[in-house]
Structure 1
Amino acid sequence: MQQRTGEEKAPGLGLSKIEFIALAAALMSLNALAIDIMLPGLQQMGASLGVENENHRQYVISAYFAGMALALLPYGPLSDRYGRRNPLMAGMLIYVVAAIAAAFMTSFEGVLAMRFLQGIGAASTRVIAVSMVRDRFGGRQMAETMSLIFMVFMVIPVIAPSVGQIMLLIGGWQFIFFSMGIAGAAIVLWGFLRMPETLAPEDRRPFTIASISSAFAIVLTNRFSLLYTLASTFVFGALFAFINSAQQVYVGIYGLGNTFPLVFAVIAGFMALSSYLNSRFVVRVGMRRLSHGALTGFMLVSLIWLVWSMNGTVPFVPFLILFALAMFQFGWIGSNFNSIAMEPLGHIAGSASSVQGFIQTLGGGFIGAVIGQAFDGTTTPLAAGFFGLAVIALVLVAIAEKGKLYAAAPQRQEGLRH
């Protein structure tokens, strides 16, 4: 397979780079939409469906992550065998149907089942969008492109809670699911009309159980891929913990009520800004220098937050500043860690993306759910989780780099190093 390291186009790719980025971001944004638009409606949905324990309402988020994690494994090999388009279109249709069906559920268990199914469909966008980028770009160019995609993608967390709040006012929590279905259908149409096939026929691989096992073996035996995937898992666990607890923190602790979406948008805005800055600096500075420094900053900010929280409730303004700083660092960690983990695996981009996504989503979702269920009316469990996960991630990265943190990687064929 030809390794793409710059701006060259995959066979048949007629999109401009701007539209390519916009389409990939739209595909990936369906995941953020399915999560963030739900947050304002959890309380009303729980009350409507008889869910008394507030922590149990978080299962609406956890069920989605569980479905996504389990479905991530087959999508990559399927896209390596049949190309990117068809598996992606099938997954997106599942997403749309499940979202609309959830609006008609009359039990909490029914909603959870549809959310699980919706996650299965959404897994296609998580895997295949990344594979499309890897088909076209490599190395720092991939990191730059992923940062731009992430920046556009972050528009959704900025606006989704507000949209969810509006849907609640219009017609209750059911309208939130209708809006997800409509947005998904629009992106399906755009992708059907404009998305090219980025995987050349000669680069396709047979789909077998052995191919999934082989991808697992390659990911798990490449030092950089394995350790950066695990580090990403722990960092994403912190993000998932926040998503699970966001409504309880902002509304329950700080009493924000209907202004909750606005504050959530501020945090998402910091993440979008950091992704934009990452796209500007990553080619010159390097993925490792930026992401290692950001992870260290994330750990230190989390430590300050934890110490303060253990001595009483952190006032809202300091909490918002500390949390915004932590999320700003996250914007420099996520896309760079994923790019470093994918760098040695271009020859099996789809399968590798599936395996890495499976590990990150299942592991991160589980970690986030555990921390979320530990919510006790304070931010201490969340702060402790952030700090502990950052420490673990930094240790894993240090092992991957053999202690040489904050240094630009030499030009090398990393796929040969284990």
Structure 2
Amino acid sequence: MPDAERTVSGIHEMTKPIDQAAMLSGLSKSQFIALMAMLMSINAISIDIMLPGLQEIGASLGVTNENDRQYILSAYLFGMGFAQLFFGPLSDRLGRKAPLLGGLALYALSAIAIVFVPTFAALLFFRFVQGVGAAAIRVVTVSVVRDIYGGRQMAEIMSLVMMVFMIVPVIAPSIGQLIMIFAEWHMIFVVIAFYALAVTAPVAVRLRETLAPENRRPFTASAILDGFRIVVTNRIALFYTLATSVIFGALFGFINSAQQVLVGIYGLGVWFPVVFAAFAGLMAVASFTNSRLVQRFGMRALSHAALLGFTLASFVWMGASLAGPLPLPIFVVLYAAAMFQFGVIFANFNAMAMEPLGHVAGTASSVLGFVQTITGGVIGAFIGQAFDGTVTPLSVGFFTVGVLALLFVLIAEGGRLFKPHNPAG
């Protein structure tokens, strides 16, 4: 498609009435948001529901170093990260539904396989495979949203998706804790397998194919490389992706060490899921707030302010933690102040990264997802492995990624913050 046609097409996408655009999926707006959120929440439940069971999983499979339990999360993230590079171009060729259904099936089967693993190495292998299945789910979900929405509308929809998505971290650790009371850790994977199957039903029956035949791209090496080139040579897309990636690293770093911090340092025990849920709920509130404000103020004004707030809150947290052990209330306030901003940053940064790439949405989603997941996973693993019995490594990690993200945003914006590029910004 010539550049001029792409521009006209992109403007048309941004100006379509939301209700009419949602109908392209075969679903009402609320049904569409709910289904996209259910799909995105699969990744959250894959991580958060097992946090209360990490200690028992490690003990059951002979893991002696408590930091090694974090690999259960890292293996999943790396499987998801690398596989996105395959599923994105595949969904640009075959359409969205077939790869999505295949990913859901692989995810569910891997979860069932984990129930029967005899060793920790086998568990890590199937967690990696489960992440491969999740890659298709993540890539196609973002691609479907971009097929239908653009600009501030996409940021609004992604904020609402993230708001519902955040309900899972609110309830998942409590579900995991409940499972651990009445059953062994194996039942956790049975539950997430059935959840994936439950989501599969409305995808198979209700969701229409959102990629028009005329917009499909060949699945050849040259076409795939050309798609990758389009993504990585777009300054705004690339550097907003990198900014999101490093912020993700902070979130993954906390998730990796959350059980050690909240239970090991602060002795919360069975109250761990409650505090974890409160943090997730705060991010859900931030996502909802963003969805109500983004059409009025724009993606850049909200997300740039949130990034500055994240960096400032992390700096205060780091300074306080370096001064000595933090009491639980102070830790909660400072961490919450930083992570409230995440709920605003994520949806807007992703929408701005995807905005110029609608004509290669599947490939773009895969490259963006790969960079975000792998970079975030590596940074998160580094922060998690630096755990030393205090919250200092976590706070230093948060401040560092805040500074890096700010640098990437400045590069993306040519050195200027808060300036909208067009009515969609």
Fold shared per TM-score above 0.5? yes
Give the RMSD, CA atoms, in angstroms. 1.3
Of 276, 282, 306, the match for 1:270: 282
Give 1:314's aligned residue.
326
Of 229, 233, 236, the match for 1:221: 233
Contact 2:22/2:32 (<8 A) preserved = no
Distance 1:308 1:10 in 2: 47
Distance 1:62 1:23 in 2: 26
1:230 Cα deviation after fit? 0.7
| Amino acid corresponding to residue 218 of structure 2 in structure 1 | P
Give 1:397's aligned residue.
409
Give 1:148's aligned residue.
160
Of 198, 201, 206, the match for 2:210: 198
| Alignment pair present for 1:32 and 2:22 | no
Contact 1:145/1:279 (<8 A) preserved = yes
| Amino acid corresponding to residue 279 of structure 1 in structure 2 | S
| Alignment pair present for 1:64 and 2:76 | yes
Distance 1:204 1:62 in 2: 33
Of 270, 273, 286, the match for 1:258: 270
| 58-67 or 321-330, which deviates more | 321-330
State the TM-score, normalizing by the size of structure 1: 0.97
Distance 1:20 1:194 in 2: 10
1:96 Cα deviation after fit? 0.3
| Amino acid corresponding to residue 154 of structure 1 in structure 2 | M
Q: How does 1:358-369 map to 2 (within 5 A)?
A: 358-369=370-381
Of 55, 78, 82, the match for 2:94: 82
Which structure 2 residue ranges, 5 or more long, are not aligned? 1-5
Distance 1:310 1:161 in 2: 30
Distance 2:318 2:21 in 1: 47
- Indicate the SS of the match to 1:105: coil
Q: How does 1:76-115 map to 2 (within 5 A)?
A: 76-115=88-127
Give 1:132's aligned residue.
144
| Alignment pair present for 1:183 and 2:188 | no
Distance 1:402 1:113 in 2: 43
| 258-267 or 213-222, which deviates more | 213-222
| Amino acid corresponding to residue 341 of structure 2 in structure 1 | Q
Distance 2:272 2:184 in 1: 17
Q: How does 1:321-336 map to 2 (within 5 A)?
A: 321-336=333-348
- Indicate the SS of the match to 2:326: coil
Give 1:374's aligned residue.
386
1:12 Cα deviation after fit? 5.1
1:277 Cα deviation after fit? 0.3
| 345-354 or 213-222, which deviates more | 213-222
| Alignment pair present for 1:118 and 2:118 | no
Contact 1:11/1:200 (<8 A) preserved = no
Distance 1:210 1:36 in 2: 39
- Indicate the SS of the match to 2:421: coil
- Indicate the SS of the match to 1:9: helix
Contact 1:10/1:135 (<8 A) preserved = no
| Amino acid corresponding to residue 110 of structure 1 in structure 2 | A
**Sequence identity, in percent?**
57
Q: How does 1:334-345 map to 2 (within 5 A)?
A: 334-345=346-357
- Indicate the SS of the match to 1:183: helix
| Number of aligned residues | 413
Change (3 A) 1:372 1:365: same
- Indicate the SS of the match to 2:21: coil
The runs of at least 4 aligned residues of structure 1 exceeding 4 Å deviation read none
